A and B are shown apart, each in its own frame.
Chain A
Amino acid sequence: MAKITSGVACSHVPALGVASDKGITEDDYYGPIFKGFEFSKKWMAEEKPDVIFLVYNDHCTAFDARVIPTFALGCASEYQPADEGWGPRPVPVVKGHRDLSAHIAQSLVLDEFDITIMNEMEVDHGLTVPLTMMFGQPEEWPCPVVPLAVNVVQYPAPHGRRCYALGKAVRRAIESYGEDLKVCVFGTGGMSHQLQHQRAGLINADWDARFMDLLVNDPEFGSQIEHIEYLREAGSEGIELVMWYVMRGALNEQVNEVHRFYHVPASNTAVGHMILENA
């Protein structure tokens, strides 16, 4: 049977993708950030998951204003890196796992999570930047990815509580899949940041630290955080952090935090990253 063994939380700041693609990962600005992921690359090489279930948000790339699914599950055999306005990132095509996706899609709907099924989908920096941070620049990504896109662009994003419950349903889905697979779940986005209007540049490091503590130690409580708190305390785009709760829901109640990294800034954003292993 398939099994979830670990979770990764990771910001997906587009500038980090640009830095990696342009080879500026060691300067004063980006160096400290990429250094914070050195442990993670080694950990990943040892963990060797067979599949990554990756929770991210699309930034009006696969979904423009015409169609806005709250939860959309990738069910394709591959996902092309998209042109987001300055040419596609020069990263490998993301291979999918169609059988596992199909199983998860069916299981989630029967489990009362009425997700949208995506049989074709381009993926943007929201998905590819975390892969870059965790794997560097391989010629091929080392394992297939099952993407779950969450709407966090048009208010309201799904509630943290709903994301946490979805994570539990994702776990039931994955762990009822017949093949022996080791699965790592990524929750991406965040941390505190605001990209828009006159309050742009907001960072709330104390709030971010508390968010990470709750995520690890008291996710039942942390998943209750209301939207107004995310908007006010973590910035209008900080609400992306609800996606970390899908990842957390897919893990055991007790987890071991094996790595935490936090840095300000990358462009307009606080970078947060954690590795959690099922205890």
Chain B
Amino acid sequence: MAKAYDDIPGTIVFDSEQAARGYHLNQFCISLRLQANRDAYKADPEGYIDTFPMTPEQRTAALTEDWLGLLELGGNIYYTSKLAAFHGINFQELAGLMTGMGSTDYRAMMVSGGRSIDGNRYQSEWDENDDG
């Protein structure tokens, strides 16, 4: 079913459908909040991740740090950021990776006022830019 927010570009709304899809993935990510679990994941990534019954696609996205893929497969940023933190990546660096801008350019954009709302409200505005 089409949703009102489907036409917001570069955005995945973590709704109940995404939450259901990402449940085990998100529970894996949030488990890394605790030191004992971080130690276990570090010692044996595949062994640890296999204790969470996620899909093969989610498992691969987590192991390969595919940050956009994780969101598309039902991950939520407050969860995936725990996996990022495990890898020493903070929120701003993570945003640099997800936007494809890299940390330096992303940080510069934020310091100069952030990403403008103009041209970033509707998917159609992004599509026009691709065509141009």
Write the residues of chain A forming the contact surface with B, with a CB cutoff of 8 angstroms.
14-15, 29, 59-61, 64-66, 83-86, 153-156, 192, 194-207, 227-228, 231-233, 236-237, 264-265, 267-268, 270
Determine whether the beta carbon of A196 is less than 8 Å from that of B82. Answer: no
Of the stretches B29-37, B42-50, B56-64, the one at the interface is B29-37
The reply to whether A85 and B32 contact each other, CB–CB distance below 8 Å, is yes
Query: Cβ of A64: which chain B residues have Cβ within 8 Å of it?
Result: 26-27, 30
In the assembled complex, which residues on chain A have CB atoms less than 8 Å from the CB atom of B115?
194, 199-203
Q: Are A201 and B114 in contact, with the CB atoms below 8 A?
A: yes
B14-39 Cβ-contact flags toward A at 8 Å (1 or 0):
11100100110011001011110000
Q: Contacting A14 at CB < 8 Å: which of B4, B27, B91, B109?
A: B91
A199 to B13, CA, bound (A): 12
Residues of B within 8 A of A227 (CB): 5
Cα A32 to Cα B23 in complex, Å, equals 40
| B100 interface hit (Cβ, 8 Å) | yes
A-B interface contact total, Cβ < 8 Å: 142
| A122 vs chain B, min Cβ distance (A) | 10
Q: Which of A15, A156, A202, A270 contacts B15 (CB 8 A)?
A: A156
Q: For the complex, give the distance between the alpha carbons of A197 and B106 in Å.
A: 13
Q: Check if B98 sits within 8 Å of A196, measured CB to CB.
A: yes
Cβ–Cβ contact A194 & B5, under 8 A = no
Collect the chain A residues with CB atoms within 8 Å of residue B95's CB.
195, 200-201, 268
A27 to chain B, nearest CB (A): 13
Q: Which of A84, A197, A228, A270 has the most CB of B within 10 A?
A: A197
Closest to A195 in B: B77
Contacts A66-B27, A86-B85, A153-B14 given; does A196 touch B117 at CB 8 Å: no
For the complex, give the distance between the alpha carbons of A268 and B90 in Å: 11
B55 contacts the other chain (CB 8 A): no
* Chain A residues closer than 8 Å to B114, beta-carbon distance: 192, 201-203, 264-265, 270
Interface size on B, as a range, is 35 or more
The 0/1 profile, CB within 8 Å of A marked 1, for residues 99-110 of chain B is 110000010011
Interface of B (DSSP majority class): helix
B68 CB contact (under 8 Å) in A195, A197, A207, A264: A197
Minimal beta-carbon separation of A209 from chain B (angstroms): 13
Compute how far the CA of A85 lies from the CA of B11 in the bound complex, rounded to whole angstroms: 25
The reply to whether the CB of B113 lies closer than 8 angstroms to some CB of chain A is: yes
Point out residues on B near A: beta carbons under 8 Å. Answer: 4-5, 8-16, 19, 22-23, 26-27, 30, 32-35, 68, 71, 76-79, 81-82, 85-86, 90-92, 94-95, 98-100, 106, 109-111, 113-117, 120-121
A236 to B15, CA, bound (A): 11
Q: List 6 A-B contacts (CB under 8 A).
A: A85-B33, A196-B77, A198-B100, A203-B117, A232-B5, A268-B110
Q: B82 and A202: CB pair below 8 A?
A: no
Other-chain contact of A196, B26, B71, B85 (Cβ < 8 Å):
B71
Pick from A65, A155, A201, A207: contact of B27, CB below 8 A.
A65
B117 contacts across to A, CB distance below 8 A: 202-204, 206-207, 233
* Minimum Cβ distance to chain B for residue A112 (Å): 24
- Flag if B4 contacts A201 (CB, 8 Å): no
Question: A267 contacts B91, CB within 8 Å?
Answer: yes
Q: Assuming the A-B contacts A64-B26, A64-B30, A154-B76, are A199 and B113 also in contact, with contact meaning beta carbons closer than 8 angstroms in the complex? A: no
Which A-chain residue is minimally distant from B19 (CB atoms)?
A154
Does the CB pair A196–B11 fall under 8 Å?
yes
Question: What are the residues of chain B within 8 A of A195 when measuring CB–CB?
Answer: 77, 81, 91, 94-95
- Asked if B27 and A199 make an inter-chain contact with CB atoms under 8 angstroms apart, the answer reads no
Among all A-B residue pairs, the 4 with the closest Cβ atoms: A203-B114, A198-B10, A199-B10, A196-B77
Q: How far is the CA of A206 from the CA of B9 in the complex (A)?
A: 20
**Nearest-CB distance from B58 to chain A (Å)?**
14
Q: Are B12 and A196 in contact (CB under 8 A)?
A: yes
